[in-house]
Amino acid sequence: MGDGSCMDSTVNQCQNADGVWSSTELCAAINCPASYCNSSIGADIMVGDLHEIEKYGIVGDITAYSIGTHVVNVGDEEMPWVALTNQHPVIGQQMYKMTSTRFEQIGISWVKHGFGSLAWDLFYCGCVDPGNPEVIGVGCSDPYTAGLNGDQAGWRGIGGLGPRSDVNAALGIFDYPYETQGQYGDAIYKRLQVKTSDVDPSLNPEAQYFVEGQYVTPHDAQAGNGANSVAYRPVEPTTFNNGWNLQFTGDTVPGLPAIYAWKAAFPDVELSISTIPFDGTMILAARVTEIADGWHYEYALHNINSDLSARSFFLEHAGTPASNVYFHKVDSHSGEPYSNDPWEFQLDSSGLLVYTDSFLENANANALRWGTMLNIAFDSALPPISGTAIVGLFKPAFEETILVDTIVPSSKVITCNADINEDGMINVIDLLAVIDQWGSCQGCTADINGDDVVNVTDLLVVIGNWGPCE
């Protein structure tokens, strides 16, 4: 894991530096830290460290936080950092919870507007000081404290927290000045909002937590380098005082979104990266675990910086039942125009579709926008195979969908003699079928051994082969 000075970074940068990347070691076997410095062509801002946490208190069941961030220019160009125009970064903060079952987003903030750059060299990249606070130099690093990143109103027309809905993260474009500039509110207004119950250790005894900082910067985004302008760091709740205090428990992992923490903790998680032409990047994480009556499918779809966003998720499912369905997406807040309505589940002969309204139906539908993650989960009798998920894009585009290689339910049910209802599982349904057809019964489906009698012999076959067909 990274320590804030050794830039573990992204897969591409690791390989470009002749390193070996893995989900657990990230980047190994390189001359660190210099290998990552100035390794990109064009403008490239990377979040290198998350260094401070501030808590603001509770309103209802919501606690507000902010996270201190520190970035470094790992590209080969200077970038503007101008307070009074839209040529500066905006900074989003997110929080996630990981359990033995899933990895989900539990918190989101508005975006802090940047206003000037220092010329530090915290990451030893050889900062070339531009001598101008409205520019971040090549190799230079620039910090913002948690207090600045949680400042609601800004001052004298600069800084403050503005709406995410103003931001096109794929192009680094946003409105400035923004409509709510100068506006204060209660303790949680605009800040990183987390349900207090989500971080209560008594309610979440085995949970692990991560905070994430993300920058959207015009020149960085337009150079195609926006996907690594992010970092995450593990935290834990400690004491309670008008909200649970958080403290860091490990090092910052620079250049990667928090969804990689799921892969690091559970190596059987499969990550699929989708780079959408002329737009941004999404990551689909999938994990399948065997349960008593089949398999549990768990998906987390994270939109790093796609402006097109996502509105649907489709898997082939062979028309068999799916149970224990689950959907989660973090709520927008503080007056953002977006709906928080959950997506709809639809299962028919073509497969499983989870969806919200299209852009043409409702421009403020609960789409998966940049800096957010959604979870879709269900139980199925169908065993896992390698296949394709179809993610439907929200905004109109040349391509309406993206195809993602991942783990999916098999298109065919594996049957066996004791699987009386042919759903791929030998379970209580088959047991009840034997009991229901008990006795002399010519041609009955529960007559497993074909002796025209449903009796204890058939019952023992069901019990002896209990579980998924193999």
Measured between alpha carbons, how far is 33 from 54 in angstroms, rounded to an integer? 29
Give the span between the Cα atoms of 123 and 125, in whole angstroms.
6
Burial of 453 (0-12, 13-18, 19+ CB in 10 A): middle
Assign 286 to helix, strand or coil. Answer: strand
Pairing type for strands 294-303 and 372-380 reads: antiparallel
Q: Does residue 209 contact residue 237 with C-beta atoms inside 8 Å?
A: yes
How far, in Å, are 42, 222, 391, 463, 470 from residue 319 at the CA level?
49, 44, 20, 26, 20
pLDDT for residue 27 is more than 70? no
Q: Mean per-residue pLDDT for 144-148?
A: 98
Can the peptide bond before residue 33 be classed as cis, meaning omega within 30 degrees of 0? Answer: yes
Look over the chain and give the mean of its residue pLDDT values, rounded to a whole number.
Answer: 91
Give whole-number Cα distances, 49 to 155, 256, 292, 420, in Å: 26, 11, 43, 57
Inter-residue contact 211 to 146 (CB < 8 Å): no
- Tell me how far apart the alpha carbons of residues 352 and 318 are, in angstroms, rounded to a whole number: 9
Average of per-residue pLDDT across 215-229: 96
Q: What pLDDT is recorded for position 413? A: 57
Tell me how far apart the 2 most distant CA atoms of the chain are, in Å: 94
377-415 in b/e form (b: 16+ CB < 10 A) is: bbbbbbbbeeeebbbbbbbebeeeebebebbbbbeebbe
- Give the pLDDT of residue 23: 42
Query: Residue 131 contacts by C-beta under 8 Å, 6 or more apart in sequence?
Result: none
Q: Could you read off the pLDDT of 98-129 as tens digits, one per residue? A: 999 999 999 999 999 999 999 999 888 999 99
How far apart are alpha carbons 380 and 420 in whole angstroms? 17
Q: Which of the given ranges, 22-26, 129-133, 431-435, 457-461, has the highest pLDDT on average? A: 129-133
Alpha-helix residue ranges (DSSP H) falling in 268-420: none
- Per-residue pLDDT, averaged over 131-138, amounts to 97
Residue 6: is its pLDDT beyond 60? no
Give residue 59's pLDDT.
98
Q: What is the pLDDT of residue 294?
A: 93
Give 347-392 pLDDT, tens digit per residue: 987 899 999 999 999 999 999 999 999 999 999 999 999 999 999 9
pTM (2 d.p.): 0.84
Tokens of 230: 């992010």
- For residue 11, what pLDDT is reported? 43
Q: In which band, very low, low, confident or very high, does the pLDDT at 24 lie, cut at 50, 70 and 90?
A: very low
Q: Any idea what DSSP says for residue 341?
A: P
**What is the three-class DSSP state of 446?**
coil
Residue 464's region, left for phi above 0, alpha for psi from -120 to 50, else beta, is: alpha
CB count within 10 Å of CB 470 equals: 8
- Residue 157, pLDDT > 70, answer yes
| Token pair listed for 342 | 């959950």
User: What is the set of domains in the chain, with CATH numbers?
Assistant: 11-265 (no CATH), 281-409 (2.60.40), 425-468 (1.10.1330)
Burial class (CB in 10 A: 0-12, 13-18, 19+), 165: middle
H-helix or E-strand containing 417?
Answer: none
Q: Are 109 and 94 in contact (CB under 8 A)?
A: yes
Q: How many CB atoms lie within 10 A of CB 67?
A: 30
469 pLDDT higher than 50: yes
Query: Two tokens at 108?
Result: 């989101």
Q: Which two tokens stand for residue 454?
A: 């449903």
Burial pattern 235-269, b for ≥16 Cβ within 10 A else e, equals: bbbeeeeebbbbebebbbbbbbbbbbbbbbebeeb
User: Is there a contact between 213 and 79 (Cβ–Cβ < 8 Å)?
Assistant: no
